[in-house]
Each structure stands twice: as C-alpha cells, then as structure tokens.
Amino acid sequence: MRPFWKRSGTWRRITTLSRILDASGQTIGTRVLTKNHPIERSHPDLVYFSLFYASSPLPSSAEMDMFDEAQNRLDELSDKLDFYQPAIIMLNGKRDWILYARDGAKLMGELQLELSQFGPQMEYQSDPNWSQFRTIRTF
C-alpha cells in the first residue's frame, strides 16, 4: 500500500501510523495520515469513502487484502478524478478514507461507478477549511 498523496513531486510525504487504544491498552483501531498535507482550498468537499469489516477488533487478513485492493484503485483514480487522500481511520468495524474533492457529489458518483465491487458507503459535506482533517491530525 502506498502512502496517501496527490502529486508526489509538489510536497514531501510524511505519513504516520498510530494505534487507537481502549482504556485497557488494547488496540481497537488505527489512524494513518499525511502529517504535512497542505490544505487545498480548491478542494472544499469532504468525502467519506467507507468499507466495513466483520472481524473484531481489527480486520482479518482477507479483509485487509480487500482494503489494499481498494487503496490501490483509489491511488490509481486520484489524479483522474482529482481528489486528495490525506487520512484513513479504521475503527469499530469500519475503514474510512478521508477524501477532499472539488465537487463531492460528483466524486461520489464516479467512485460508485469505478469501485462498486467493494460495496462502499459514501457521504460528503462541505469542509472548505479541512476541519475534519485538522481534527484527525490532533488525536
């Protein structure tokens, strides 16, 4: 799986992987993000691209293989469909890719056509200041 970037020549990639722990110290999820991703005001719409898993607390090997396949397809499509992938959160049976696009509704339609075999659930909202990404960076 490649780190999450848009146009690799324009900014340096620094990705981090951190575990999300419960009160007893058990790993219950993960967070992956590009710490130095620039805030691209030209891409004001936040799109959640979500896939679900049944294993607990983390996905099985087969589910991770599916996630890797989806990630590879998202990497292939990011330039063509003009979106950024600054973060991924995996927690509580769901893996959320945090995407930013010029037009969230249009991106959701295009991703549904390209990636329907994964059965994604998607939603979008306006987030011109990239507030969700800024929040994810803090925890």
Is 6 among the domain residues? no
User: Rounded to the nearest 5 degrees, what angle is found at the Cα of 21, between the Cα atoms of 16 and 23?
Assistant: 155
CA distance 83 to 109: 13
Average pLDDT, the chain: 83
Give the number of domains in the chain.
1
Percentage with pLDDT > 90 across the chain: 50
In a domain, 84, yes or no: yes
Q: Is residue 119 part of a domain?
A: yes
Predicted structure pTM score: 0.81
pLDDT tens digits for range 52-68:
988 877 788 999 899 99
| CATH number, residue 52 | 3.30.70
39 inside domain? yes
Q: Which residues contact 62 (CB under 8 A, 6 or more apart)?
A: none
- Does 69 fall in a domain? yes
Range of the domain at 99: 15-138
Q: What is the pLDDT of residue 19?
A: 67
Q: What is the pLDDT of residues 110-139, one digit of tens each?
A: 999 999 999 999 999 999 999 998 888 776
Within-domain flag for 51: yes
Structural domain includes residue 101: yes
